[in-house]
Amino acid sequence: MPLRHDLSNVFPWRIGALRDVAEKMPQGWLDAYDSDGSRPAPSCTPVEALDRLETVAGVVRLAHLELVPGFRRPIFEVVSEGVSMFTPGEPLLQHSSVIYVANSGSGAPMHLDLHHNLFFHLTGTKYFRIGQMRDERMQHEAVVRKLGGVSEPLRVLDQVTELELNPGDALYVPPFTFHAVESDGPTVSVSCSWSTPSSERAVPLQRVNGRLSRFGVRTAPPGRHRLVDLAKVTLERASHLVR
């Protein structure tokens, strides 16, 4: 269920503040896409992408807010609190943050992230759909199929919970959790993500499992066979170094 936060005075959400942040961001930190799946011209700047939302339905993602002057310490403090709440006992390895600016009808289809994600909603109404399978084995197989490149419809998941996020709501989404997002009207949100030793071990392991799934190979959920898991992680990291 959503939590509550009081960070509207920390994160930018008014258009003037968003434009100020966008002006400080290099073009490589912009990821914008329209509701039809297309993207603006490669020469589009972060500020121009924000301005396009006045006439074009879509989403603008401004990455690495934690590297913008004035936001490094607040983001680190927010992430540190999230680590203490949701991944206690594990050290923080890496963290990052993204501003999402969207307009009505835009969003993201069912997908999963590879990191811990604490989502702070600032303005407008946004709907999250969280999906999962009741059985651990089936959940694992759904995850590795997705990582293997299989896009399955929402109806494949046994349990889907819809959550309405309003200003002041926050939501924690664990790694490898299926979720979809849709905006009802103009919305602004900030996502703070982080990795821990266990999440960083799981990423290469599940990527290997995803590739094996393309060939019809069934794999066990992480933790069932530790030596096999270790071998997969070692091979994945070695192949990454070679690439």
Based on the fold, state whether residues 177 and 209 are members of the same structural domain: no
**Once rounded to an integer, what is the mean pLDDT over residues 60-73?**
96
Which residues, other chains included, contact 10 with Cβ-Cβ below 8 Å and sequence gap of 6+? 74, 78
DSSP annotation of 95: E
What's the domain range around 30? 3-196
Based on the fold, state whether residues 16 and 106 are members of the same structural domain: yes
pLDDT of residue 114: 94
Backbone phi, psi, residue 62, to 5°: -110, 110
Q: Count the domains in the chain.
A: 2
The partner residues of 34 in beta bridges, in order of sequence, read 58
The token duo for 195 is 């990795």
pLDDT of residue 7: 95
Based on the fold, state whether residues 230 and 153 are members of the same structural domain: no
The token duo for 88 is 């206690």
Based on the fold, state whether residues 52 and 165 are members of the same structural domain: yes
Based on the fold, state whether residues 184 and 118 are members of the same structural domain: yes
Based on the fold, state whether residues 220 and 136 are members of the same structural domain: no
Based on the fold, state whether residues 161 and 149 are members of the same structural domain: yes
pLDDT in tens, 82-91: 999 999 999 9
Q: How far apart are CA 185 and CA 53, in angstroms?
A: 11
pLDDT in tens, 5-61: 999 999 999 999 999 999 999 999 999 999 888 999 889 999 999 999 999 999 999
Strands (E), the chain: 3-4, 30-34, 58-63, 94-102, 107-111, 116-132, 159-165, 169-173, 178-195
Based on the fold, state whether residues 208 and 172 are members of the same structural domain: no
Based on the fold, state whether residues 189 and 222 are members of the same structural domain: no
Based on the fold, state whether residues 214 and 168 are members of the same structural domain: no
Q: How far apart are CA 72 and CA 68, in angstroms?
A: 7
pLDDT in tens, 194-228: 999 999 989 888 888 888 888 888 888 887 878 87
- Indicate yes or no: pTM above 0.85: yes
Closest CA to 47 of 13, 11, 19: 19
Based on the fold, state whether residues 214 and 162 are members of the same structural domain: no
pLDDT of residue 154: 57
Which CATH number characterizes residue 25's domain? 2.60.120.650
pLDDT in tens, 103-127: 998 989 889 999 999 999 999 999 9
Q: How far apart are CA 57 and CA 37, in angstroms?
A: 10
The token duo for 217 is 């190979």
Residue 4 has pLDDT above 60, yes or no: yes
pLDDT of residue 217: 86
Which residues, other chains included, contact 2 with Cβ-Cβ below 8 Å and sequence gap of 6+? 163, 165, 169, 170, 171
pLDDT of residue 67: 97
Q: How far apart are CA 214 and CA 212, in angstroms?
A: 5
The token duo for 23 is 């002006």
Helix (H, G, I), strand (E, B) or coil at 206: helix
Residue 235 has pLDDT above 70, yes or no: yes
**Once rounded to an integer, what is the mean pLDDT over residues 144-165?**
82
Based on the fold, state whether residues 206 and 227 are members of the same structural domain: yes
pLDDT of residue 242: 47
The token duo for 221 is 């959920």
pLDDT of residue 240: 59
**Once rounded to an integer, what is the mean pLDDT over residues 134-156?**
81
pLDDT in tens, 175-188: 999 999 999 999 99
Helix (H, G, I), strand (E, B) or coil at 214: helix
